Amino acid sequence: VSAAAVAGTGSLVLTGGMLVTMDPGRRVLTGDLVITDGVITHVGGPSPSGAGGPGARVIDLGGKVVMPGLVQAHIHLCQTLFRGLADEMPLLDWLRQRIWPLEAALDEAALRASARLGIAELLRGGTTTLLDMGTVRHHHAVFEELAVSGMRGFSGKAMMDQGEAVPAGLLESTRASLDESAELARAFRGSAGGRLGYAYAPRFVLSCSRPLLEEVVARSHADGDLIHSHASENPDECRVVRDICGADNVSYFDALGLRGPGTVLAHCVHLGDHEVAQLAAAKTGVTHCPSSNLKLASGIADVPRLLAAGVPVAIGADGAPCNNNLDAFMEARLCGLLARVRHGATAIPSWKVLDLATRGGAEVLGLQDRIGSLEVGKRGDVITVDLGGPHVGPGGDLYGRLVYAARSSDVREVAVDGRLLVEGGQLLSLDATEVSRRAAEVLPGVLSRAGLA
């Protein structure tokens, strides 16, 4: 499949569906959904004959659910090859002893294979938009793979100009980090027909100097790019940040101007009330990564507290070596379950969980006018879900079935800009067998270069 094959937009008519629109009224409708030249032109009820135009693809859904594509606002495509390679470690050891050495061992070919594997998993599981944090080197390869795949999203190279135990292969000068980021932003901002954008990615406080962070704020504001970082993930990390910066993580970022719409902070597990207030006042986005927080034993982010304060919240799977899947359905389910641990069984209704996985993700990425719901005029980013399996039937609340019973393997069709990328559960824009074969082929070289073979 060539890049050109998935560079444009498509026309698609989905008939006979159950439409979970996630629109402002959270309407659930029966009938048809029409996407014409990439844009949703009809939602619910029978569609007029000839809808979608002469070239439109027509699929009869036979009652399957149609819903907005899922949005994951914190992913590391560069780490997909590392799945299962760092299973029993807390955050700082996990980074210093495994993940950074492995990232430093990625050459361009291995990075490409890693990105492709992650994209294949994401698309097949119904994720149509991502916010990706790269590694330090070769990051253009990730953008090229995203372009070919047909996915929507933002990505950026990781920025690391200081830090304890950062391997030489990742450590860069402040100037080089900024210049290379700006060059990538220029090359890929608005590329692939407007599907891709740039997100400056200062990795986290401990790997970024203050001048670097200040310049990231200035540049991203000037050019309208996003900022994507990690914050307050683990108690040890929070303690070190306080020692070095003299402030709590979110407060430190806030004071530097690293805040507001267009800034997305992953995790935010350990926050003081002053930090929650700062996130809410500035409308800084937070990405909740429940599997990763549990697996690295980081803690449980208090999502109901963030939502009650008015903080925009999205969900994300983080990377394959701390999860170990990139499955939006699993993250949504855990989001709903973990909220109950602290706040009881009514902590967060199912529709609200699904909200975070669709509209919430769109909002933190500044894409709320383009994606996140099935509404006329929005981009044609949609998925279909088969609720006919024995693990989801026979009835009950539709949102509850989607959040707590459905699985990513129930996703049948996936379209971005109206172009069909998955049909009948099979990837169209990538060869899944070849993607897996290639990932297995490059892994031994990475392990050997990382000294872990």
Chain contacts with Zn ion (rule: CB under 5 A): 318
Q: Shortest Cβ distance from residue 302 to Zn ion (Å)?
A: 19
| Cβ distance to Zn ion smaller for residue 318 or 386 | 318
Give the integer Cα–Cα distance in Å for 21 and 25.
9
| Residue closer to Zn ion, measured from CB, 132 or 417 | 132
Provide the pairing of β-strand 65-68 with 382-385.
antiparallel
Q: Give the other-Cβ count within 10 Å of 394's Cβ.
A: 7
CB of 145 to Zn ion, least distance (A): 19
Q: For Zn ion, give the closer residue by CB, 292 or 384.
A: 292
- How far is Cα 76 from Cα 82, in angstroms, rounded to an integer? 11
How far, in Å, CA of 371 to CA of 368, rounded?
6
Contact 266, 317 (CB under 8 A): no
Residue 104 parent element (H or E): helix 100-104
Smallest separation (angstroms) from Zn ion to the CB of 75: 8
Min dist CB 227 to Zn ion, Å, is: 14
Please check whether residue 136 is in contact with residue 157, taking contact to mean a CB–CB distance below 8 angstroms.
Answer: yes
- For 269, the token pair is 């597990």
Mention every residue, 6+ apart, whose C-beta is less than 8 A from residue 188: 140, 143, 155, 196, 197, 198
SS3 percent helix, strand, coil of the chain, rounded to 5, is: 40, 20, 35
Q: Are 157 and 179 in contact (CB under 8 A)?
A: no
**Among 219, 211, 209, 213, residue whose Cα is nearest residue 184:** 219
Which of 32/318 has CB closer to Zn ion?
318
| Paired sense of beta strands 426-427 and 158-159, if any | unpaired
Q: Considering beta carbons, is residue 61 or 146 the nearer one to Zn ion? A: 146
Shortest separation between residue 146's beta carbon and Zn ion, angstroms: 17
Which neighbouring-strand residues pair with 34? 13, 42
User: What is the number of the residue whose Cβ is closest to Zn ion?
Assistant: 318
User: Residue 28: which H helix or E strand, with range?
Assistant: strand 28-36
Q: Whose Cβ is closer to Zn ion: residue 121's or residue 318's?
A: 318
Nearest to 233 by CA among 68, 95, 396: 95
Instruction: Identify which of residues 121 and 381 has a Cβ nearer to Zn ion in the complex.
Output: 121
Closest separation in Å from C-beta 294 to Zn ion: 14
Q: How far is the CB of 289 from Zn ion (least distance, A)?
A: 7
Q: What is the smallest separation between the CB atom of 238 and Zn ion, expressed in angstroms?
A: 16
Least distance between Zn ion and beta carbon 164 (Å)? 18
Task: Answer yes or no: are the C-beta atoms of 31 and 16 closer than 8 Å.
Answer: yes
Distance of closest approach, residue 101 Cβ to Zn ion, in angstroms? 17
Which of residues 265 and 443 has its CB atom nearest to Zn ion in the complex? 265
CA–CA distance from 296 to each of 78, 323, 334 (Å)? 19, 9, 15
Kindly tell me the sign of the dihedral angle through the C-alpha atoms of 369, 371, 376, 380: positive
Closest to Zn ion by CB, 326 or 439: 326
